[in-house]
Structure formats: C-alpha cells, structure tokens
Amino acid sequence: MSNEKNEAIGRRWYEEMWSKPDLNLADEIVDMDYNPDWVHIDAVGPAQIKNEIKYFRSIFPDLKYEIVEINGQDDKVWIRYRGKGTQVGKAWGFEPTGKEVEFEGATILYINSEGKITDRWGAFCFYDILAGLDLVPPLWDLSKKLE
C-alpha cells in the first residue's frame, strides 16, 4: 500500500470509526484475523474492535479523537492523537464523574496489501486519564497518599 493510502486508513480509523462512531467501517478496514495480543476481548477481527469501541463509548459517549501527527509507511501508519471525552459511564470500578478528560497517545496500525488492518500497537497514559477524572491523585502526589 502507498503511504498516502495508509494515512487515509489511519484517518478513517480515528476520525470516522472511533469519533463518529461508524462501527460498520470496521468491516471494511479491519482484517478478519485482527487480534492484538494486548487487547483482552473475546472477539477477533472487526467484531473485536467494534466491541472495544462500544465499551469505551459506554464510558465516554462523546469521545472524539484529533490526529496530531500521521506518517504512512509501506505496511503501517503511525498516528499521534489527542482524545477527549466526558465520563458518564461506570468503568474500571469507578462510578461516573461527569468530568471531561483529555489525553494523548500514539498508535501504529499494521496494514496488509489488501488495505486491511492486521494488528495494532498503542500507548497512552491510562493513569493520566484517571487523574484527569480526579479518580486518583496526580502522579507527583501519589507518594503522599501511600505514606
């Protein structure tokens, strides 16, 4: 795939599939064998990512992503993003806060020659999300709470 085509797939991943959300897009751009090792959902392929999106949107129904940087390569696309949403759903053992949180992260989508996403690597600071919702103290204050 060309760099431009891979960047277009990366944009659709965040701007359409996650942000609108357009779950049907998963059937078009996600490979049937998609199953990242670090995602713990009992589904594979498009069903896996649809399940993940539904879960996160049950917590943050207004979840939106903004692409900060994107770089397509032959078999992958690197994406740095900002996410923003309001926690209105119970998650990770915490009741809804009604607070808006912003976070940043990075994702690499691996894309085969048919234009399907076969794997994903991602990183974001989950602790910053919890701190932004006032569910845990800021990291620099954590030691004071553990004394």
Q: Residue ranges of the domains in the chain?
A: 3-146
| Structure confidence at residue 41 (pLDDT) | 75
| Structure confidence at residue 127 (pLDDT) | 87
Closest CA to 83 of 70, 100, 95: 100
| Structure confidence at residue 42 (pLDDT) | 79
Residues of the chain with pLDDT under 50: none
Query: Buried (b) or exposed (e) across 35-71, using 16+ Cβ within 10 A?
Result: ebeeeeeeebbbbbbbbbbeebbebbeebebebeebe
| Structure confidence at residue 95 (pLDDT) | 94
List, in sequence order, every beta strand (DSSP E) within 1-147: 64-72, 76-86, 100-111, 117-124
Reported CATH class of domain 3-146: alpha beta
Report the Cα–Cα distance between both ends of the chain, in Å, rounded: 54
Instruction: Please list, in sequence order, all residues whose beta carbon lies within 8 angstroms of the beta carbon of residue 4, skipping any fewer than 6 positions away.
Output: 72
Q: What is the pLDDT of residues 42-81, one digit of tens each?
A: 788 999 999 999 999 999 999 999 999 999 999 999 999 9
Q: Are 2 and 77 in contact (CB under 8 A)?
A: no
| Structure confidence at residue 140 (pLDDT) | 81
Q: Considering the entire predicted model, what is its pTM?
A: 0.89
Length of the chain: 147
Q: Are 117 and 111 in contact (CB under 8 A)?
A: yes
